[in-house]
Structure formats: C-alpha cells, structure tokens
Amino acid sequence: MKISIDNLNFHIIDEGKGETIVLLHGFTGNALTWESFINKWSSSYRIIAIDLIGHGESSKPADASLYTMEAMSRFLKEILDICRLDHVHLLGYSMGGRLALSFAMQYPSYVKTLLLESSSPGLRTVEEREERIRKDYALARKILDEGMLEFVSYWETIPLFSSQQHLSEALKSELREQRITNSEVGLANSLIGMGTGAQPSYWESLHELGIPVLLLTGEYDNKFISIAKRMASAIPRADIVQINDAGHTIHVEQTQIFDKMVVAFLEKHV
C-alpha cells in the first residue's frame, strides 16, 4: 500500500495481526529484503515493512534534506500515526538500524523494543564525521556519474560484503537484481542525507535507552562487533548476540539463525 506524507509516497507492506514489528532495510535494499521473515512472522505479529525514501517504490526526491535522520524519523512517526500504532518492536539493518536508533531516541514512547542488526550510533568525533561526509559525497558523485550498474558492481566487492561471496549463485544474483532496481538519485541522496557522517552521534545518549535492545552482529564483521560491544556497555538493557559464519548481512547469510534470535528476543518482551 501507499502512504502519502508531504507530497511524498511511501510504499508499505502491512501483513498479519498482533503486536507490531516494524522492519527497516539497509542502503540499496527495500521492504522485500524481509520477505521470508514477513511470511513467517506475520502468523504471530503484525508486520510493517517500509521502503525508505530513495529506495524501492517510495519517492526519490531530488532534495537531499528530505533524507536526513531527523526528517526520516518524522516520516516514520507519521506513518505509525496513520497506521494507528504507538508502541512497536522496531528492527533495522545497517542504515535502517541507524534510523531505528535515531527514531527511538527522538520518539521513545513509540518503541517497545529495539533490534539492531549490524548498526551503529554514528561517529564519535567531528573529525570522523567530516571525513565520512567527504567519502559519502564522493560515492554519491560516483553513483550519479557512472550509473547504477557500475555502482552495484563496485558495491558488491567492498570488504564489508566479502562474506557474501560464499552465498549461492542464485542468491547473489537475486541480491544484485534487487540492488540494480534502485535509482541513482535515490541512493546518492541517501548517502548525503542519511550517511553515517551526516547523522547525529548518539554515543553519549545511549544510556537514556530504557527499553530492551538486541544487538546482532556477524562473526566476520569485526568493525561492527567492536561497535556492538561498546554499545552494549552503554545501554542499560542490551543483549548482544554474535552469529557464527556470517558477516554484515546476517539476515541473508544465516537466515534461520537470525529468525530464531529475533523471535526468541521478542517472545521475552511481548
């Protein structure tokens, strides 16, 4: 279904009944990232999966200011208000996890539990943020100049996704086809507006999270293992789980274990 906010269209998958899980995909993904989990979880929960701005079937505006974490958090609040939801389980992967955390910090009353896969609270120092902003602008320029096929070919080879090389050829092909469906403007503006450097740093605010939080990392994703451990030490009610034989995209690389870890966490907090 489509939800319109401020002349922007958001594509939403809404399935099942019960307590609500809201699913937020990562950069280059869309709501169908979660398709296999929607099919399973909708027998026990209401599932809301959203195409974030710049992705999938949602709008891809040319104004990068509409892609900021603050703007996206407000859009998410309005989506939940339209769906008459005010207390949800919020699960996000990578960029979607950073948005989920941002939303939980800005609108804490809406979030019952927070589940973050391979995510971070941003960068600690101004210098780190400025350097990352420069890199994200350069990558956004590359996308606009070279086009989607060239970008996806590059994106598939970055070290963050090296463990995906062990996936079946069919699954790698499926991931590639999904990535290619994106638009240059949508992805470029997502980097500019929602990049790790552009977003606020929440490191100093993590202690304010009073809700149960699940931090999921993959065995081979050393950078995000380190980040998750530091997050867990700051968040009062954090559980941290490291998934064996997986990298950054746990939900793709270890689907069944990811399913079990999420469901077990939710069952403790429904």
Residue 21 in any domain: the answer is: yes
Residue 112 in any domain: the answer is: yes
Which positions of the chain have pLDDT values less than 50?
none
Helix (H, G, I), strand (E, B) or coil at 71: helix
Report yes or no: 204 and 177 within 8 Å, Cβ to Cβ.
Answer: no
Q: What is the structure's pLDDT at 161? A: 87
Residue 9 in any domain: the answer is: yes
Residue 142 in any domain: the answer is: no
> What is the number of structural domains in the chain?
1
Residue 180 in any domain: the answer is: no
Q: What is the structure's pLDDT at 167? A: 85
Helix/strand/coil (H/E/C) assignment for every residue in 170-220? HHHHHHHHHHHCCCHHHHHHHHHHHCCCCCCCCHHHHHHCCCCEEEEEECC
Measure the CA dihedral 156/159/161/166, to 10°. 100
Residue 175 in any domain: the answer is: no
pLDDT in tens, 107-149: 999 999 999 999 999 999 999 999 999 999 999 999 999 999 9
Residue 176 in any domain: the answer is: no
**Residue length of the chain:** 270
pTM: 0.96
What is the C-alpha separation between 200 and 13, in angstroms, rounded? 28
Q: What is the structure's pLDDT at 160? A: 85
Assigned token pair, 137: 């602008």
**Domain housing 220:** 2-122+200-269
Q: What is the structure's pLDDT at 263? A: 97
Helix (H, G, I), strand (E, B) or coil at 249: coil
What per-residue string of b and e applies to 171-205 under the rule 16 or more CB within 10 Å gives b? eeeebeebbeebebbbbbbbbbbbbbbbbbbbbee
CATH code, 97: 3.40.50.1820
Report yes or no: 38 and 47 within 8 Å, Cβ to Cβ.
Answer: yes
